[in-house]
Amino acid sequence: MSDNGFEPRIVGFLCNWCTYTAADSAGVGRMEQPPNVDIVRVMCSGRIDPAFILKAFVEGADGVIVSGCHPPGDCHYNNGNYKTFRRMPLLEALLQQYGIEPGRFHWGWISGAEAVKWAQLVRSFTEQVRALGPLEWKRELASKED
Amino acid sequence: MMDAGRHPNIKLMTYCEIEEVSGYVGSFKVKVRQRPRYVDIDLCTGCGACVEACVFRRGVPNEFDEGLSRRKGVYIPMNGQGVPMKAVIDEDACLFLDKGKCVKKCIEACPTNAINFDQKEEFVDLEVGAIVIATGFDKFDPGRLSAFGWGKSPDIIDGLQFERLSSATGPTQGEIVTKAGKKPERVAIIHCVGSRDSNANAYCSRVCCMAALKHAHLVRDKTGAEVFEFYMDIRAFGKGYEEFYERVQEEGVYFVRGRGAEVLVLADGRLQVKAEDTTLGIPVDINVDMVVLETAMEPQHDSDRVASLFGLSRSADGFFQEAHPKLRPFHTNTDGVFLAGACQSPKDVPDTVAHASAAAAECLSLISRGEVVISPTTAIVDEDLCSGCKTCLSLCPYSAISFVDRGETSGVAEINEALCKGCGTCVAACPAGAITARHFSDQQILAEIEGLFRILVSEGTEKELVPA
């Protein structure tokens, strides 16, 4: 665990049926997790426009999580997660071109039954982003505008 | 079951499997595969003459008696008490259907000419408003845990085999006897076989403690044998259950607090149970004539297929997931599909009846309303912005988007709000930003993200939160 005193801000985009349910039961189950992740609920991970993730980084997020239902069959909307599956690798490549380290963006699958896995992800991802330090994107963007 | 079979408003379809489900609450289309039973169900009276006549004397293990007896190729399920009480021919056991040669005495014997070897499987299409999933459970195979000696002696039986042994309609007419036909003098009952065990299932199967106590009571009552119960905790949670536990204690059953660790077959054919008695703090070896394993309840082996057919999710233990563990215990995340009984989690009979009645009542209230309430979170197309590129059409999992051809000015996409479930995949993909997800619009989500990075300084004023 890196203890550099830095508290990262992380935005999590979660689908309503799987990962949001898992996050909810992690809370109900009193599982220990750091308070660094703010959750934005969407109905399906397929709703997540890659622009939302860029927007979160622009606004000052140090890390972003995207999580939905496990492929193949878990998606509440049959195959919305497949669209996420197609979009996120492209976005990953784009983020690297923008100079955002791969460790700041996580996308994956957590089912409604995997509250423990969610709590683990929150813990490990927060530590990972904490070790990377603050993302100075917002300040850099602001200085370029000046 | 009998009442359900007789009810004029209930159509019972047995020997069937669901092949396909489509549609939505209020209008599901279900394709059912009716397997051939080789008996005309309208003509069969359930007299059993064909079973008498069947020449396959050796037969196959009778699943209703948990393999303790044998049945013929043609049989009336549940030892003649099934619903509907009609004969069925088992394709794999019938000498004619399996091997192709038989004198077919059953045809001669049938007084109503109900037997028809030309039956083929059929597909039936149904349109229904609501669906209840009540697929039940599978019993744990104790062979998966080698310590219990499963299969090494015919006197190591599981709880359901014991039920058949003590049933008046069972293979011994209710006599509790060993395979050799003798009354046992000492019986061991082992709890939590496959439950509360990190090598099998982590969960408690709920019903086995009370079943084990009942079995101990039956052994004491019918044979007077000494009974040893190997348990970790007794979970007598229901109405009247704790009282029954006390009664069984008073009947002289020995309770050994400790998981049965090993069952051995001794040289003389008797059985030995090894365990640690944790109240005395000593290991114990107890020699018995019969061992009853109280096995776990497990999800049906094909519950993954059923889950994908109906769009259900399953919890970590493999049982179907309810919509909310406390407030919506028999609902699923698919509107109009409900759960009843042990397919959701292990349940005893009173809990199953309550669960199933609730699901049935919910279906009735849905039907009697005559209309369904759908979620307002659908997507809408702004016709002025839509360029008619058709990107969204192939993305929609519900085929809710159609293309309205406008001739020279290309055309626009149109969303059927009754079919749209509001996932928003089309919204994220629309290159023109012409589709809006109600309650999850781009503006709303972007504002939510912005809001995360602002703090309220004082009433009415906000400050941007810049990372330090």
Which residues from B are below 8 Å from A87, CB to CB? 428
Topology agreement, domain B36-120 and domain B379-456 = yes
Q: What is the pLDDT of residues A20-70, one digit of tens each?
A: 999 999 999 999 999 999 999 999 999 999 999 999 999 889 999 999 999
**pLDDT attached to residue B463:** 66
**pLDDT attached to residue B182:** 94
**pLDDT attached to residue B308:** 83
Which residue ranges of chain B lie beneath pLDDT 70?
A: 409, 456-468
**Complex ipTM value:** 0.88
Given 3-state DSSP classes, what are the helix, strand and coil percentages for chain A, each rounded to the nearest 5? Answer: 50, 15, 35
What is d(CA A135, CA B467) in angstroms, rounded to the nearest whole number? 8
Does A10-145 carry CATH code 3.40.50? yes
Q: Which residues pair with B132 in a beta bridge?
A: B338
**pLDDT attached to residue B468:** 43
Question: Any chain A CB within 8 A of the CB of B447?
Answer: no
Helix (H) / strand (E) element for B403: namely strand B401-405
Helix (H) / strand (E) element for A106: namely strand A105-109
Question: Any chain A CB within 8 A of the CB of B333?
Answer: yes
**pLDDT attached to residue B24:** 82
Choose the mutation target among A64, A76, A111, A136 for the interface with B, i.e. most B CBs under 10 Å: A76
**pLDDT attached to residue B465:** 60
Long-range contact pairs involving B164-169 (C-beta distance under 8 Å, separation at least 24) = B164/B64, B164/B65, B164/B66, B164/B68, B165/B68, B166/B215, B166/B218, B166/B222, B169/B79, B169/B81
Residue A139 has pLDDT above 80, yes or no: no
What is d(CA B301, CA B140) in angstroms, rounded to the nearest whole number? 10
Which CATH number is correct for B137-298, 3.40.50.2000, 3.60.21.10, 3.40.50.1000, 3.50.50.60? 3.50.50.60
**pLDDT attached to residue B460:** 64
Question: Any chain A CB within 8 A of the CB of B110?
Answer: no
B379-456, which class in CATH? alpha beta
**Which residue in chain B is spatially nearest to A18 when comparing CA positions?**
B313
**Does the beta-carbon distance from A47 to B311 stay under 8 Å?**
no
pTM of the model: 0.79
User: Per-domain residue ranges for chain B?
Assistant: 36-120, 137-298, 379-456
Tokens linked to B73 = 């190729």
Does B36-120 carry CATH code 1.10.10? no
